């Protein structure tokens, strides 16, 4: 029997995976948390006004709920290459195999893209005001930071995955845009 192959998603991969998978389910990344900590200077912003996208940060003792995709063994190499091309064009992510807890309590190893804390695009210490402004106004070649966050939040809400912190940022950004 061939081993199962998994991908753990937490940002745009949850609503736009772009690869073939057998099934998906909610699951927890063990010892990681998520935040808007990555400056997006091309796809969701510019060098003058970077957007922000989510990063999965090492955080011992934490668990973050996201989406676990099971991929056929016969599609694994194609899927992994697609994800490398999509996620590894900058030094902001590190391709890693992480521990993930499935809904049934079992632990599996899954491919994930965790934030490279040494990247110049890693920006974990922005004020909430700066985060809201960047989300509200930054736009890049793949769309706005606002649209990115809205897509993530809508998916998380639909799947009943905790998104309260992100919802508050999105609502504040919406109000800032409306008042501009």
Domains of the chain and CATH, by start: 5-178 (3.10.490.10)
pLDDT value, residue 103 = 93
Asked whether the beta carbons of 124 and 114 are under 8 A apart, the reply is no
**Distance between CA atoms of 76 and 29, rounded to whole angstroms?**
20
pLDDT band per the 50, 70, 90 thresholds, residue 1: very low
Is pLDDT at 112 greater than 80 in this prediction?
yes
**Distance between CA atoms of 76 and 135, rounded to whole angstroms?**
34
**Distance between CA atoms of 52 and 136, rounded to whole angstroms?**
10
pLDDT band per the 50, 70, 90 thresholds, residue 2: low
**Distance between CA atoms of 37 and 50, rounded to whole angstroms?**
11
Give me the percent of the chain exceeding a pLDDT of 70: 99
Any alpha helices (H) in the chain, and if so which ranges? 12-15, 76-87, 128-137, 145-158, 164-178
Measured torsion, CA atoms of residues 110, 122, 54, 19, in degrees rounded to the nearest 10: -50
């Amino acid at each position: 029997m061939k081993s199962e192959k998994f991908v753990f998603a937490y940002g745009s991969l949850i609503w736009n995976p772009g690869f073939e998978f057998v099934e998906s389910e909610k699951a927890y990344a063990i010892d990681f948390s998520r935040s808007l900590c990555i400056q997006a200077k091309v796809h969701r912003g510019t060098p003058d006004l970077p957007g922000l996208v989510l990063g999965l940060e090492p955080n011992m003792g934490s668990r973050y709920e996201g989406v676990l995709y099971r991929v056929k063994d016969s599609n694994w190499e194609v899927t992994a290459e697609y994800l490398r091309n999509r996620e590894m064009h900058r030094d902001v992510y590190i391709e890693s195999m992480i521990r993930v807890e499935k809904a049934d309590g079992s632990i599996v190893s899954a491919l994930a893209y965790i934030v490279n804390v040494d990247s110049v695009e890693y920006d974990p210490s922005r004020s909430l005001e700066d985060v809201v402004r960047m989300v509200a106004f930054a736009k890049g070649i793949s769309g706005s930071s606002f649209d990115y966050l809205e897509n993530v939040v809508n998916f998380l809400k639909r799947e009943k995955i905790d998104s309260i912190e992100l919802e508050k940022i999105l609502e504040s950004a919406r109000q800032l845009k409306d008042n501009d």
